[in-house]
Structure 1
C-alpha cells in the first residue's frame, strides 16, 4: 500500500476547494492599460511582497536609472567592433565605466560582492570579421546560506546602427540595451548592502548584436564549472512604453518563457509526449514565479507572460542558458518602436526621427521594470531551492496520485506545498499545504490534472514549482 502522511490527508472535497489568495496586479489608481492577454485574478500561488521586499523596491531610483542610460548613450557607439582603448568613445570606454561603477557598488558590500572582467578573444566568425576581445562585466553577490545556488540577471551593453557591421557611426543604444544594463546596475547597487541567502550575479554582457557571444561565453563558463544556476533573466529592450503607432502601455512588461526545453533529450521528449508537460518546463515555472512575486502593487507593473522562447524568429541572451539546460527568460517592453531600434540617427524627409536616443525612453517605466526584476530575483534568492527529484509514483494503478521528492537542506526549511491545475489552465489554481514531508497522496487522478511541488521556508518564501516526472 502506498505510504500516506501521518497527518490526515484532505478529502476530495477539501482538495477541490484548497486555493490561496493573492494581491492586485496594478498599483492603486494606476491607469487600466490592458494588454491583449486575459487579465484575471492572481493565481493561487501568488506571493504578496514582504515588508523587507517593499523596502528594497523603494530604494530603486528613477533618476539613477536615467543617468545610467544617458551615460551609456554618451559613448557615441558601443558596437562590439568599436574602439576598446579610447577613453571617451566606443565599447572599451563603456566597459571601463560599467566596471568602475560596479566596483563602487561592491565597496559598500562588506566584501560580499566581487567584480570581474570576464574576457576572451573571439576568433573570426559570423559578424566578427577579425579576432576581437569580448568582455562581460560581472558583479557577484555571494549568498550567506546557500552560496552554491546562483541566480543571474543580465543586459547587453553593446549597441548597433542600421548596418550591423558599422562600428563607426553613432549607435547610442538607449533602449537597446542601455535600459537593460541600467536595470542590472541599479539592482546591483541596491542589493550590494544586503545579504541574500543564495548568490546573485549581475552581468553586463557584450557581443549580443553580433551573435550572443558574451552571454554564450558566460553560460559556457557556468556549465564547465558545474555551477548550480537556478534562474537567469535577461533584460533587453525594456526602455520604452510607446509602440510604433504611438499607443502607450506603461504598466505592462512582457516576459518570454519557452515551453519545450531547448536542451530536451530524445528520452525526455518521449516522456513528455506520454505524460504531458509542454507548458511546464523549468522556464515556464520561472515565468509563473515572476508573476507570483512581481505582478502586484509594490511593482506597479503587470507581467504578461508570453509562451514563446523569444519574439517571433528573434533571440536574446537567455538562449545560451536555455541551450545548456538552465531555466531562463527574457523581459522586453510591451510593444517595440522599430524607428528607435537598430537605426542610424537621422531625420527623414517627412520629419520622422530615427535612432535609439534617450529622449525616446520612459524612465518611469524602466524603474517599474527594475522593481519587477528585483521582486522576482530577491524572492528567488531568499526562497528555498526548487524541490529536486519530484516524481509521481506509477508502480500501482490507482485513481489517487502519490508524489515523492527529495528534502532540501536549507536550515530554515518549513515544509512543502502541492499545487495542481486543470490541464487546460495556464496558472496553478490550487494549493495544498502538506507540511515537512517528502511523500504525499492526493485524492485526484494524475490523468486529469497537472501537479507540482514547491518548498516553503519559515519566512514564508516559496520556491518555483517542480513539475514531477513519472517514477516506476
Structure 2
C-alpha cells in the first residue's frame, strides 16, 4: 500500500513549472503513490471476450496430437509437431483474416545444429502472428507459449507426450489473445508467438530474440506463458485458483561491466527494466475484471528451470514469465503411466480452463495497457555531476501525438513499489527537492487519456 502524501517541497525547472500549469489528465502535482488502475471500457470489453470454452478446445486439440516433441514427425498429418505447427498456423491465419490487414502470420523456420538434446540437425519452426500498431508500430510487445512437449526422456520423440499444461496452456493463452485482439487497433505492435524447441534448449525463442536483435527491434516487453494450466496442484495442498506467479529478474541478465560498476555504487538491484514490468503488471492486471492476483517473484525463474523469456533477457530486452502458483511435478516431463495408484503425465484432465482464461485476462490487461500507453521513457539519467540535496533527472521526450507529459516517481530504497509521484509536464528535465542519496527514482510517460507507461529507472550521468 502507498504511504501518505509526501510533505516534501518539489522544485521544478522553468519549463516543467510552465507545463504544470496545465496538469496531466488524472494526475495531481503530488499523489500518494501508485494505485491499481481499473480497466477502461475498451479493456473491459476485451477481457469479457476471452472464452474458457475456446481455450479448452485449443488445449484438447494440441494434446490430441499425441506428442509435440521437437524431434517428432514434421510430415505426419495427425501426430507430431508438424501437425501441431500446421494447425496453429491455420488458426492464427483465421484470426488474422478478421484484422483488416493489420495482423500477419508467418512460419519462422531455421535449422538447429546438433546439440546434447538435438542429435541430428533439425528444422524448428515458430508460428508468429504480428498485429501492427496504428501509431508507433516500431514499439513492440511480445507474448509467447511453447508448443513443443516432452516425456520423461528428453530425447523420446515417439512416446506419448500430451503436454496439456506444459505448454498447451500457454499456447492457448497466446492464441486466444490473438483471436480477441486481432479486431482491435493497439497503438504499438503486439506479437503472439507459439515457439518450438523450448524443451530442447529454448531454441525457438533464442532464434526469434536474435532475429529481433539483429533487426534493431524496439521490444519494450516480452512475456512467456509457460505452465499456466491450473491453480490446483492436485496433491492435497491448498489450491490458489486466483493467483498466477510472475517471475521478474532484478539485475539485468545482459548487464555490462560498466553498468555493474554503476549499480554497485548507486544501487538499483530492484530497478531493472524487467522488475518495472512486474510493477506495471501489478497495477493494471490484478483486479476483479481479471479475477486474479499477481504473485510477483523477484527472481529470473524457478530453481533448476528456465523458460523462453530468458532468450530475450540475454539480448537485453525486458522480459518476464507467467506460471501457475504451485506446480505438480508428477504432471510435468513425465511418461503417461500409473504407479502405485498415482497418475503421471501431463494430461488434459489436470487443467482448469477457467483458470487459464483468467491468466489470459491478466496477459490481455498487461499487453493492452502497454500498447495503448506511451512507450517507456528512454535515456533517463540522474545528474550526478555535483553534490546537492536536490535531484535533477533528464530523459528524451517521446514523439507520440497524444503524449501529455511525464511523472517523476520515488520510493524509499527498501520499499517494493513507488510511493510518491509528481507530474512535471511534457518536458525532458525536472528537478525535485528530494535527495537522490535517500530514495530510488523513476520516470514514466502519460498520455492525454491517462494511460501510463512502465517507469524507467535513471542511470548516473557521470
Whether the 8 Å CA contact 1:242–1:249 is kept in 2: the answer is: yes
Q: 2:441 aligns with which of 441, 446, 451?
A: 451
1:392-407 pair list within 5 angstroms:
392-407=382-397
The 8 Å contact of residues 12 and 432 in structure 2, kept in 1 or not, is answered as no
| Superposed displacement of residue 306, structure 1 | 0.3
CA–CA separation in structure 2 for the residues paired with 1:146 and 1:297 = 30
CA contact (8 A) 1:75 1:89 kept: yes
Equivalence map 1:191-340=2 (5 Å): 191-243=181-233, 244-340=235-331
Give 1:245 deviation, angstroms.
3.5
Matched, 1:6 2:31: no
Where structure 2 has 5 or more consecutive residues not aligned to the other structure, the ranges are 1-10, 22-28
C-alpha distance in structure 2 between counterparts of 1:297 and 1:271, whole Å = 41
1: CA distance, partners of 2:296 / 2:236 = 23
CA deviation after TM superposition for structure 1 residue 18, in Å = 3.4
Question: 2:383 touches 2:391 (CA, 8 Å); kept in 1?
Answer: yes
Find the aligned partners of 1:416 and 1:269 in 2 and give their Cα distance.
27
8 Å CA contact 2:127, 2:195 repeated in 1: yes
Equivalent position of 2:31 in the other structure: 19
RMSD of equivalent CA atoms:
1.7
Instruction: Quote the offset at 1:430 in angstroms.
Output: 1.3
| Contact 2:249/2:298 (<8 A) preserved | yes
Question: What residue is the counterpart of 2:360 in the other structure?
Answer: 370
- Asked whether the equivalents of residues 452 and 468 of structure 1 are also in contact (C-alpha less than 8 Å), the reply is yes
What SS does the corresponding residue of 1:6 show, helix, strand or coil? helix
* C-alpha distance in structure 2 between counterparts of 1:398 and 1:340, whole Å: 58
Counterpart of 2:48 in structure 1 is 58
Q: 1:219 touches 1:320 (CA, 8 Å); kept in 2?
A: yes
What residue number does 2:6 align with? Answer: none
Cα distance per residue 1:159-203 (max 9 Å; x no partner): 001111100111000000000000000000000001010100100
Report what 1:150 is aligned to.
140
1:199-257 Cα deviation digits (max 9, x unpaired): 00100000000000000000010001111111100000000111233421001100000
SS at match of 1:241: coil
SS at match of 2:59: helix
Distance across 1 between alignment mates of 2:429 and 2:257: 29
Unaligned runs of 5+ in 1: 11-16, 21-42
User: How far apart are residue 470 of structure 1 and its match?
Assistant: 1.3
Structure 1 residue aligned with 2:64: 74
Within 2, Cα distance between the matches of 1:117 and 1:45? Answer: 41
Picking from 129, 132, 150, the partner of 1:139 is 129
Match of 2:333 in 1: 342
Indicate if the aligned counterparts of 1:153 and 1:233 stay in contact, CA closer than 8 A.
yes
TM-score calculated relative to the size of structure 2:
0.94
Structure 1 contact 45–429 (Cα < 8 Å) conserved: no
Does structure 2 conserve the Cα–Cα contact (< 8 Å) formed by 1:126 and 1:211? no
Deviation string 1:302-349 (CA, Å, 9 cap, x unpaired) is: 01110000001311100010000000000000000011111111111x
Show the counterpart of 1:35.
Answer: none
In the TM superposition, structure 1's runs of 4+ consecutive aligned residues that sit over 6 Å from their partners are: none
Match of 2:73 in 1: 83
Match of 1:98 among 88, 94, 110: 88
Match of 2:4 in 1: none
Matched, 1:351 2:362: no
Q: Number of aligned pairs?
A: 444
Measured in 1, the distance between the counterparts of 2:171 and 2:69 equals: 15
CA distance 1:437–1:356, change in 2 (3 Å): same
TM-score (norm 1): 0.92
CA–CA distance in structure 2, aligned partners of residues 378 and 126 of structure 1: 39
In 2, Cα distance between equivalents of 1:433 and 1:305: 27
Contact conserved, 2:12 with 2:424, CA < 8 A, in 1? Answer: no
